[in-house]
Every structure is written in C-alpha cells, then in structure tokens.
Amino acid sequence: MNFEYTETQTMIAASVKDFAQQFIKPHIMEWDEKQIFPVELFRKIGEMGFMGILVPEEYGGSGLGYHEYISILEEISKVDGSIGLSVAAHNSLCTGHILQFGNETQKNKWLPKLATGQSIGAWGLTEHNTGSDAGGMSTTAVEDGDFYVLNGAKNFITHAISGDIAVVIARTGEKGDSHGMTAFVIEKGTPGFSSGKKEDKLGMRASETAELIFDNCRVPKENILGEKGEGFIQSMKILDGGRISIGALSLGIAKGAYEAALKYSKERVQFGKPISSFQGISFKLADMATEIEASELLVHKAAALKNAKKPMTKIGAMAKMYASETCVKVANEAVQVHGGYGYTKDFPVEKFYRDSKLCTIGEGTTEIQKVVISRNILKE
C-alpha cells in the first residue's frame, strides 16, 4: 500500500488550504456565533469543483476518487468543521444518492446543478422519534395516480432551509419493513414542502440543521430513485460511503486541534520553559499524534476499498467510529493543553471541542458503528 499523497492529492490539498484561509478563516466566529449558513461560500466552493467531488465530469462534477475527497474535507475541516460538515453532507448524501441510484434522466436533471454548487442538497432520513431506528419512520408516501402524497416530518436535516433539492425517504409499506420505504427527490418550492425549526446547536453552528415538513406534498412518480420499496436499503449503502465523509471530517477537526495545541505548547512558557518540554504535555501530544495517524490509515483504507468497489461496511464503520472518537479526545486534550485560554474564544480549540462531538453522533452513532462492526465480524 502506498502511503504517499499523489501529485493530484497534494495539489488539491494545497488549493483547498489556500481557499479556506482566504474565504473561511476570517469569518469563522461570526458564522458560529450568529449561526449563519454562508450560502454564497458554497457557490464559490462549487466553482472550485468541490460540490461534486465524486460526480463524473459528464454530469458537471470533478470525477475524483475517495482519497481526494478525504483530502478536501480534511483541509476544510482543519479550519472550520461546520463548513466541512456541509460539504460532506451535500456530496455524500443528497448528491451521492442521486448519483448512485438515479436513472440517466434524473442524473442529467439534478446532478449538474448540485455538482457546481448552483443547487444545495439536503437528505432526509431521520425523524423526531426515529434516530438510530430509521426503519420505524412515520413519514408516509401514499400513491395517488401519477403522484405520491407525502405527509410527516424529518428532523436534524442539514440544509433543510437553504437546500434546493432534497432526497427524502418515506414509508410506502408497513412500518419496520426494510422494503417498505422509498426514496424521492423533492425540489424546493413544491407545494406542501417546507422547512421548520432551525436547531440551536452546541457546535457545527454554521452548518444549517432544521426540519423538513410534508403536508400533502405531491411528488411525481418520476422522482422516485430506483424502485418503490428500495429507499431504506439504498440509504444504508449511502451511509456506508457517508462514514468515510465523517471519518475525513473527524480527521480534519482532530488535526486542526492538534496543530493548535502543538503551536501553543511551544510558545507558552511556564517555570522558565515552553510547556512542551514537560512530560505531562509532551505525552499528551504523543498520544494525539499517534491516534490521528491511526485514524488516517483507517479512513484511507475504507476509501481504497470504496474506490475498488469492494465490500467496506466493516472497515467504514471502524474508520468512522475510531476517527470520530479520536476527534473528541484530541479536541478535549487540546483545550487542556491551552489551560484557561483553551476555555475562551480567543483561541480556536474551544470551537474544535464543540464541533467534534457531532462526529460521534451524525450518520450513525458510535454505538451503531459497534453494532455494524460486531455483526460483520461475527459473520466472518
């Protein structure tokens, strides 16, 4: 296995780093404190080709692979995890679902706008009473001639208010039946389709999270992705790839927090020495660096399997679980290294700390990853 970045990855990482320093870093705290979702920034990210990273060029995308995808998310998330989260959700969930399961007409209709950032994507699976138990959803889609009529609500949806195109999974069969749910594409402005309460979150505050509401929302049958009843099965496959996204997001946040802690430890002097010279601090840095390295290897192994179209459910779950837990641990220790200053907004680590926790929850909690991993190893 080659552990070196390719020339393409190196060039991409450098261009994303420059972009993040110029267009993201100056606004981080304003966006965070005011919960501003910077729509125009995502138009710029689209112009860079990073809203359709995995989308083939024929549909307006960049046609890159998962290793490049990780590089992009990592560099953005080193600066601002909430922007990294939105880029990940747009690429892997909404855009990824249409790319993987849409027919040619659907791909040609929606992917070019999504891939260039003209449209922002949302993806609706979670509901108020069905988080990890997604199969128990209550949102229904009832057939009516050439349409399906949707009623219900989705919760914790990234880009629910600002999104232009949403992929939504609704129940078309019995509750709990894995073949009783169907995926629909719904465009903003469709009668009966609206957004609800915006969540006031601990972290990731510049990444918009809100409800999607369906009140006798009529969706044409040609907007079904794949076949009726396949929505839940499709979603589980989408979440497989999504775990690479959250792994990359976790990796970026962890690296950002670690680099801030390393820098501070060399500059902060106590008892006449930089605090990095004390074993209590240097050992923290050693643990942080080692666990980040291990996370990176796992995430890129999952990417290699995904690129090769090989089974990656187990490794993807391992990568997501380990990288996200490492992210929280590293961010916590980065605050500790900063001492009292780490608890203030004058230094970046308090935000890394707040943002990190979402990584252990979104797209499947750590506990759900353990369920996935254990089921797979027990089948081997």
Catalytic positions are 363
> 295 near 328, Cβ under 8 Å?
no
Residue 308: how many CB atoms within 10 A of its CB? 11
Listing DSSP states for 215-236 in one string gives EEEEEEGGGEESSTTBHHHHHH
- β-strand partners of 273: 270
Instruction: Tell me 173's DSSP state.
Output: S
Residue 228: how many CB atoms within 10 A of its CB? 17
| Dihedral of the alpha carbons of 100, 121, 93, 364, in degrees to the nearest 10 | -160
The two tokens of residue 295 are: 């996370």
Q: Tokens 């003209």 identify what position?
A: 118
364 sits in the region (left: phi over 0; alpha: psi -120 to 50; else beta) called: left
The two tokens of residue 184 are: 């629909």
